[in-house]
Each structure stands twice: as C-alpha cells, then as structure tokens.
Structure 1
Amino acid sequence: MTTYLVPLVLIGALTSCGVYLLLERNLTRMLLGLLLIGNALNLLILTVGGPSGNPPVRGRTSTGETTTADPLAQGMILTAIVITMGIAAFVLALNYRSYRLTTDQEVDNDPEDTRVSQQSDDDADDDVENGGEVFPDTDAPDELDALPGHEGSR
C-alpha cells in the first residue's frame, strides 16, 4: 500500500487551523474552524478509504483499473458533508441570534461560570489554610446512623 504524504500534511494543516479558529471567541471564526475540521475529516476518510479503482457499479470499468473502489468511504463522506452543513446551519443561527441580541460576535464569559470558578478558587484557598486536610465524603455506617428512620438513630 502506498501512502501519500501530501494529503496527510494537508489533513494536519486543515485540522490545526480549524482547532485554532475553533478556540477563538468570535462566532464566525468558530464556524470557519468547524468547516475546516469537517473538510479535514472528509479528506481523511478519502485517504484511508483505499486506492481508486473501477466504479462500484456492476459492468462499468475505468481505463487500466483492475480493482473496484470502496463505496463505503464515499458514502461516509457524503454523510459527513450533510452533518457538517447541519452543524454550520446551527452555528449560523446561533451567530444570527447573538448578533440580534447584543450586536456583537464575541462570546463573553458566562457570569455563573465566573462565579463558580471564583468559588472553587476560594475553596482551594480554604483547604490550604486548613493545612491541606481534606475530609472525604464516604458512606461509612457511622454516618448513616444519624439519618432519620435508620435503626441506629432510634
């Protein structure tokens, strides 16, 4: 089996550019990153699908080909294209809705996430102040004795 280097380098470049764009806070760049990753996946499926050959239709041949092409890779690529376009439509709808509400394409930090993050930092500081002693949450029988309706609490 012959491995071609150019498609693999192209897959790596498309994936890395897509991940870079996906990590941006701009929704349009996120959409472009998703599209680049989708195209990289399609190229990966095509590359892994095997060598080209005769069409997978009985009785049809190409000039000089001795094997038949695998139709599964083609079907998977068509399915991946449909899924990528569905995701793109969803992100476009999110982008449009966000622009209509805030007239800004930048995604801000969620106030609730910021509060939880600060709370977890405060909890970590409290653990350091307590000497780093952490009390595990276990279901030992002595803890269950205090529950109402349990035989040990009567």
Structure 2
Amino acid sequence: MEYLILILAGILFATAIYNILQKQLLRIIIGTVLLSHGAHLVILTMGKLKRGQPPILDDSVTSYTDPLPQALILTSIVISFGITSLLLVLSYRAANENKTDNMDEMRGESNE
C-alpha cells in the first residue's frame, strides 16, 4: 500500500514540475497545487500507514497510530489553500493589467 501511495506522489511531483515549467499562469498555479498534494502524500506515507488503530495512547492500547503526520498535513492543507487563493488573485490581477497570461509576454519578450 505504501508503494502505491509513493508512486502516486511521484506522479503528482512529475506533473507538478511539468506544469510549473509552462508559460501560462494558471498552469503554474495548478503545478504548485499538485506539488503541495504530492508533499501531503509523502508526509502521510512517512508516518506509516496503519489501519484500525487509535491515535491516542491508553493503558489498554498496545499499538497506536502516530497523529503527528495527520496534524502536519492538516496545517499544510490550510496553508496551501491560502497560498493558492493568493496566487489566483495575483494572477487574475496581472492578467487584467497586462491583457495576457503568458509569462514571456509579461516580461516583454515577443514570440516573433
């Protein structure tokens, strides 16, 4: 199961890097979102996937699930949501100001 999650995280990282290297602003933002999702999966997998075990240690519990990776991922999801919304607002403003979403045209480089 952990190998499957790590392969999925690798696919997310690969598509994220591909999208970040594109010229359109929206694809760059999608790439950053995919990169954060891949990081969430890696953090979750590093915490060892255990099913059916409580996250709280009690006297009767001999084996438990570590709640720290889940707390880190929850915090990271909130932060990545804020970053994504900020990037979307900035790209919308830049596209309206420059009448394009192409990064080369925003820099003043022509495609001719």
TM-score when scaled to structure 1? 0.61
What letter is aligned with 2:93? R
The CA deviation string for residues 25-74 of structure 1, in whole angstroms up to 9 with x for no partner, is 11100111011111101100110111325222366x9xxx9521101000
Structure (1 or 2) with the larger CA radius of gyration: 1
User: 1:17 aligns to what SS in structure 2?
Assistant: helix
Structure 1 or 2: more helix by fraction: 2
What letter is aligned with 2:13? T
Match of 1:97 among 84, 93, 97: 93
Which residue is equivalent to 1:32?
Answer: 30
TM-score when scaled to structure 2? 0.82
Q: Give every structure 1 segment of 4 or more consecutive aligned residues whose post-TM-superposition deviation is greater than 6 Å.
A: none
| CA RMSD across the alignment | 2.3
Q: Does 1:106 align with 2:98?
A: no
Match of 2:39 among 36, 41, 49: 41
1:52-91 matches, within 5 Å, as: 52=50, 53-57=52-56, 67-91=63-87
The CA deviation string for residues 3-40 of structure 1, in whole angstroms up to 9 with x for no partner, is 73211111111001001101111110011101111110
In structure 2, distance between residues paired with 1:67 and 1:58: 8
Gaps of 5+ in 1: 115-154
8 A contact 1:11–1:43 mirrored in 2: yes
The CA deviation string for residues 66-97 of structure 1, in whole angstroms up to 9 with x for no partner, is 52110100011011111211110111011110
User: 2:44 aligns to what SS in structure 1?
Assistant: helix
User: RCO higher in 1 or 2 (8 Å CA, sep ≥ 6)?
Assistant: 2
Gaps of 5+ in 2: none
